[in-house]
Structures are given as C-alpha cells and as structure tokens.
C-alpha cells in the first residue's frame, strides 16, 4: 500500500491510498502545503479536475471488497452520474434499484471513501444542497460550481 500526497492550487493538500493502481481511499484537498509529492496518473487527473477540466473517474479501479451488494449498487449508480449533473437522494436510490432507500443511500454517501471517484457531491436533498460531511456545504457548493452544476 502506498499513500501519495498531492497539492492542488487554491484547494490545498489531499491524499490518495493506492494498492498498486487500485484506489483504497481518497482524501479531498484541504488548506495546507506539501513538501514533496510523487507523480501518478490518477493524481494528474485529480489536478486536471480541480483546474476545471471535465474529467471522468469511472474507469479508476476502486477497492469495494468491503461493500454490501446494496452499497456496490449505490457506488455504481453514483459513478454513472455525469460530470456537472445532480440527482436527489431519492433518485440515487432509484438508480441503484432501491427506490425507497434514499436514507440508506445518504448513509452510504456520508461514509464515502472515494469522493471524486464515487461523486457524492452530485447528490442533493430534495429541498436544497444537503450536507457534505466534515468538509461542509461550502466545499460541496465549490465542487458543484467547478463542474458548472450551480
């Protein structure tokens, strides 16, 4: 397992955990500075995303061995939401084949270990943006603005 730090201008420092080329965990950038970083194809794509390029991550291999069948379906449904588009938690549950499981879909999003690769920021509440964990609503809004969704 390898942990790689990366820095994105005006966003901060993030980390990605890799098992060879399989993503095990990912932390979005936060304020800070990084002394050294190693280049990797996935990190270059992350930087391009934060620079405003339309980047898809649906081909990045993720470690979802821990996921229940329901969680795997939610992850697949999230990965299919196109860049710049949003769905509600109810729509996400329906896309995952469980139309009455919006709360469970929201719980999955709240514990998402792959924020860009399984883009929970594209899921909003029926009456507003909803929340975005420890990074907060302003970070979610900033990601959606970056994608032109707001």
Residues known to be catalytic? 120
Question: CA-CA distances (angstroms) from residue 47 to 53, 95, 142?
Answer: 9, 29, 15
Q: From 24, 2, 22, 4, select the one nearest 13 (Cα to Cα).
A: 4
In angstroms, the CA 68 to CA 53 distance is: 33
Query: By three-state DSSP, how is residue 83 classified?
Result: coil
Q: How far apart are CA 47 and CA 67, in angstroms?
A: 28
Cα–Cα distance, 107 to 86 (Å, whole number): 17
């Amino acid at each position: 397992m390898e942990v790689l730090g990366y820095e994105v201008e005006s966003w901060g420092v993030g980390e990605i955990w890799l098992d060879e080329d399989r993503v095990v965990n990912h932390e979005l950038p936060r304020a800070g500075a990084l002394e050294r970083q190693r280049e990797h194809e996935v990190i270059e794509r992350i930087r391009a995303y934060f620079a405003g390029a339309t980047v898809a991550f649906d081909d990045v291999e993720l470690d979802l061995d821990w996921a229940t069948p329901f969680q795997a379906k939610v992850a697949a449904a999230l990965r299919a939401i196109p860049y710049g588009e949003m769905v509600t938690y109810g729509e996400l549950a329906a896309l995952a084949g469980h139309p009455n499981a919006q709360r469970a879909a929201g719980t999955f999003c709240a514990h998402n270990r792959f924020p860009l690769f399984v883009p929970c920021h594209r899921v909003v509440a029926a009456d507003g943006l909803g929340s975005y964990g420890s990074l907060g609503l302003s970070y979610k809004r900033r990601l959606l603005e970056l994608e032109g969704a707001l």
